[in-house]
Amino acid sequence: MSLDPVLARIDADLPQALDRLMALLRIPSISTDPAHADACREAADWMVRDLASIGFDAHTCPTPKHPMVVGKAGDTGPSLLFYGHYDVQPVDPLSLWARDPFDPAIEETPKGKVIRARGAGDDKGQLMTFIEACRAWKAVHGSLPARITMFLEGEEESGSPSMVPFLKENAETLKADLALICDTGMLGNATPAIVTMLRGLVGEEITITGPDKDLHSGMYGGPAINPIRVLARIIAALHDETGRVTVPGFYEGVPEMPEEILAQWQGTGFDPAQFLGEVGLSTPAGEDGRSVLEMLWSRPTCEINGISGGYEGAGFKTVLPSKASAKISFRLVGSQDPVRIRESFREMVRGLLPPDCSVDFAPHGASPASQMSIGDPAFEKARLALSQEWPNPAAFVGSGGSIPVAGYFRNLLGMDSMLIGFGRDDDAIHSPNEKYDLESFHKGIRSWARILAALSA
């Protein structure tokens, strides 16, 4: 099947593709808010109708929360599973939005035209790039170049509670040669990326309790243990002077990156000073001797995400608190075991407790890292196809975040995932005034058309 007429059809059909995206963006499918359950169902039904319009045998699948959407089309070529999610984040604080977050619009900005709406970049705009590429293939050739299963989730922004049971129950339906995930971004405005490494995540909340009630610091300060001081000592003990994490056994399973991969990262044009400067920083922190990209993509971390205790209101109160708590997350790489790390961290904390103090732990998720087998020729085919669409060659990169579904596809369905997205660092996903560049949407569609051609060749 010829690619050029497909690309021409994508260019000609861009206004109609934008109209379809705008219709989807108007649906307030906020999965974490029970008040928007009907909107999530509406979005799922919208996806089914749109997939059916281009020949997919599509339907919704009920879960205890929001429905999954599954559709199949194509009878030749490799089998591919495409994953995206139709749910979106809450819009709070609404006062910071310049327009109604569910009234999408094309806006002119100093950097070019953008699609402004909640979900524009995460993930409705992204998932529609793949669907529009399929639409163009079908319109030009009457069929798709591969056997494609669409798998669209409605709970990604609320922790995907139904994902694992659904994958287990529907493994035979969803298995494919390769999974395609469009929930990532570009490496700069002109450099596409294929994410081949995803960090895992362990979340822990600890609460230190000392006295059985808040105390007056004048009457008890000194002889009474202060849980905030205990918590501060524990937090300070989590890193040494070189930035390494001190939890026993933490670095077991952490690999060193091959020199050729490090060289590819160095050749991407990434500017650490600009990266930090955009958020008001100037000096890299973290492990001594590691580049910023290494720390983001291939090194594990321990970060403090929140601390609370004592009086936190306006003014001043001389209280000695009964409790103090912290939320701590670990990003994992390689074959680090999230269960062992959680256990080791808890044992370390218990060992640092002074007399008269106790600790309670509350887990907040645990998922291992994922690393794809880039020796599969499909990855290089996709990289070369992407490189033909964008000014700079595509690169195999890591991701600082965690996308657990890629690990689920590996562990439960036995297949690697190719993570390709066209988001940009300033898309403000999860934040007010979220956007998706019009160029990302247009060239994203063209990119997927090229990748489908390459994978089915």
Token digits for 158?
A: 């609320």
CB neighbours of residue 61 within 10 Å: 15
The residue type of 191 is T
Per DSSP, 95 falls in state G
Domain boundaries 200-254+300-367, CATH class: alpha beta
Residue 327: predicted pLDDT: 97
CB neighbours of residue 239 within 10 Å: 18
Residues 254 and 333 sit within 8 Å (Cβ to Cβ): yes
Q: Which CATH code for domain 4-198+369-456? A: 3.40.630.10
Residues 357 and 208 sit within 8 Å (Cβ to Cβ): yes
CB neighbours of residue 410 within 10 Å: 18
Q: Please tell me the pTM assigned to this model.
A: 0.83
Beta strands in 193-313 (DSSP E): 193-198, 200-209, 215-216, 301-309
Residue 1: predicted pLDDT: 81
Residue 367: predicted pLDDT: 83
Residue 160: predicted pLDDT: 94
Residue closest to 56 by CA, chosen among 41, 74, 80: 74
> In which residue ranges of the chain is CATH 3.40.630.10 found?
4-198+369-456
> In which residue ranges of the chain is CATH 3.30.70.360 found?
200-254+300-367
Q: How far apart are CA 368 and CA 199, in angstroms?
A: 7
Residue 267: predicted pLDDT: 80
Q: How confident is the prediction along the chain (457 residues), in pLDDT tens digits per residue?
A: 899 999 999 999 999 999 999 999 999 999 999 999 999 999 999 999 999 999 999 999 999 999 999 999 999 999 999 999 999 999 999 999 999 999 999 999 999 999 999 999 999 999 999 999 999 999 999 999 999 999 999 999 998 999 999 999 999 999 999 999 999 999 888 999 999 988 989 999 999 999 999 999 999 999 999 999 999 999 999 999 999 999 999 999 999 988 888 887 888 888 999 989 988 999 999 999 999 999 999 999 999 999 999 999 999 999 999 999 999 999 999 999 999 999 999 999 999 999 999 999 999 988 888 888 888 999 999 999 999 999 998 988 988 777 789 889 988 999 999 999 999 989 999 999 999 999 999 999 999 999 999 999 8
